[in-house]
Amino acid sequence: MMEDDNKNRSCPLLITNMNIMNSSTKLYSISAVSFCLLISLLPCGASAQVVGFPASKTALELRRNVFEQGRKSDQPFANFRLFMKYQLPAGQEGAVHLGQHIKLNLLSGNHVMSIEHEHLDRQAGRLFAMVDGREMMKMSLPVKQTSQYQSTQEEASSLFSMDGDYTVSARFLTEGNGTLFAKCMAEGKWSPNAKALFIRDGRLVFDIGWLGAVSGGPKVNDGKLHHVVLHVRNGDVELFLDGQSVGKKRSFMAEDENDHVFKIGASAQDFGFDWEGGDLQQILFWKGGLRHLALSKLIQDESIDKIKVQPGFDWQGATLKETFNGDGVPGYPVALRVEGPVRIEEAWVQPLVETDHAQLMADWDDETMEVGRKLYHSLCVTCHGTAQTPGSLPTALKFHEGAFKNGKDPYGMFQTLSLGYGLMVPQGQYTRAEKYAVIQYIRENLIKPHNSDQFFEVDAPYLTSLPRPLKTLRESEAVTERRDNQYELMDFGPALMWTYQVNGAEKISEWNIAQKGINIRLNPGDGGVSKGRAWMVYDEDTMRVAAAYSGDAFTDWRGIAFDGSHGTHTRIKGDVAFINSDAPAWKHPSQDTWED
């Protein structure tokens, strides 16, 4: 760590330009002046403040209240837990709807319901419901087709009557062609009286088999969001695109066939063809059609709440979305709705997450404590220290005596390790279990015995409040290939301030050490300084460029902060381009001497 009196030291002009090359090593040309300018941008004695790391959130802050303004959630949610405390009068019927196809009937009386709904990309989903702490139902949800749906023949007859008055709304964006929706044979070719709205050569077409078609308007396969409304009343058809009428036809109707089904994103095998190259976001169907005022609002793309006529069918395209502002996991959202004379006392949703926080805390034992001890003393201790030995970074929290600036509960500490905070970067080299092992060690050995005011008690209500885990998530720990040396996995950023031995001498008298070295990666790429292939070490103590080197290895990782060895110095490795002697690289301006 640099001394405080070095923090404002300016960097004078050094000797001359250095353009170093040799036959085995290719390094970047760098001048002493430009090197000093580079160093001047890095504060001596401390890393630059890293901005953008979010503050930890409590489990309660992850909750979103629902049903406050009405019987429907103000947005769809993906991968969530719904908690609802409600009252339903005896003899009355009530239900909770999750999207178009899931309806859970409510028990009468006063109850507490908890529903977990998860549906990840290309995986079967899961629905799990409990009432008053007892399991109510558990079911698997089918793998989502991203832009397709097919009804049964019974549903086609009851929900999707297309031989009378009806209105259909579709929202989409695409750069291709294909069917928005159709009513036709479940399998096979296009047939008489089949109906389909599709895009052909970039333009909208509504076709009735063996009767004709209505088309018009500009091309819609431009990758932009479009809204189309098909309205049929008294046999007359009109097609609206983005608020404008683009086609109409009088007395254009045919009887529905009993063996036809309603499809989204697909038609007959030889006509209209499947949806391609876009995002089919929503299909709404009003059996009986909308009247003038409601239709006008729909055409102008006003919300369903303003139209005030609920569609009989509301299909949301299977588009993956993250619905908790970065705190959740992307999935297939569903809208929430309460039906019946239900009095809601409390209702909220909370994201389901990748980590089983409560279980990892419940698993704490002597074995996890030892894992945490080893991890803390292999890396964390360098900056944070112990009650006996101070850490090397003054701004780092001293767990044994300092006050937390960011989440002091275990879940908050986990977020700090995972997301970073202040000068501390995310610790992605640790698995979730390892993070909680380190947290256990810090709490029990540094905070509880020495700094009890900052100790957070973990009790049953706290564990219950934590976000619950996804159960269908494929295992994807932060570290899939483990190595024993955590420091080799870390991203230290573009430079690492440390003490470096820049030559290979074994005798102490021959060591060349940059006591206050700043090792800077010269080549571009990800992973930080240790993943580079070319480096230059500047020594703030002597104000010299101590060495430049390249190769496959950053250092030998010796030293108390890395492999735990005492009496050693971290050595650079690889092909050394040059080494400057361990002496001052600046000249006294008035005495004309190079003495230190």
**Tell me: the pLDDT tens digits for 43-67?**
333 333 334 577 899 999 999 999 9
Average pLDDT score, the chain: 86
Q: In terms of pLDDT, which residue wins out, 39 or 113?
A: 113
Asked if pLDDT for residue 13 goes beyond 70, the answer is no
What pLDDT, on a 0 to 100 scale, did the predictor assign at position 268? 95
Q: Are strands 495-501 and 570-571 parallel, antiparallel or unpaired?
A: parallel
pLDDT confidence bin for 229, thresholds 50/70/90: very high
Can you identify the CATH homologous superfamily of domain 357-465?
A: Cytochrome c-like domain (1.10.760.10)
pLDDT tens-digit series, residues 366-379: 999 999 999 999 88
CA-wise closest residue to 494 among 462, 440, 535: 535
Tell whether the torsion through CA atoms of 201, 202, 203 and 207 is positive or negative.
positive
Residue limits of CATH 2.60.120.200 in the chain: 149-316
Residue limits of CATH 1.10.760.10 in the chain: 357-465
What pLDDT, on a 0 to 100 scale, did the predictor assign at position 52? 52
pLDDT tens-digit series, residues 435-492: 999 999 999 999 999 999 999 999 999 999 999 999 987 654 444 444 457 788 888 9
pLDDT confidence bin for 215, thresholds 50/70/90: very high
User: ∠ at Cα 275 (217, 175), nearest 5°?
Assistant: 55
From CA 99, how far away is CA 534, in angstroms rounded? 55
3-state DSSP of 543-582: CEEEEEEECCCCECCCCCCCCCCCCCCEEECCEEEEECCC
Asked if pLDDT for residue 339 goes beyond 70, the answer is yes
What pLDDT, on a 0 to 100 scale, did the predictor assign at position 1? 31
pLDDT tens-digit series, residues 264-291: 999 999 998 898 877 888 999 999 999 9
What pLDDT, on a 0 to 100 scale, did the predictor assign at position 292? 92
Residue 99 DSSP SS3: coil
Q: In terms of pLDDT, which residue wins out, 481 or 147?
A: 147
What pLDDT, on a 0 to 100 scale, did the predictor assign at position 474? 64
Mean pLDDT of 311-339: 89
pLDDT tens-digit series, residues 345-354: 999 999 999 9
Give 133: exposed, middle or buried? Use CB within 10 Å, 0-12, 13-18, 19+.
exposed
Two structure tokens written together for 175: 């750069």
Most confident of 326-335, 408-417, 420-429: 408-417
On whether the CB atoms of residues 573 and 496 are closer than 8 A, the answer is: no
Q: What pairs with residue 212 in β-bridges?
A: 208
Domain 149-316 fold: Jelly Rolls (2.60.120)
Rg (CA), the chain: 33
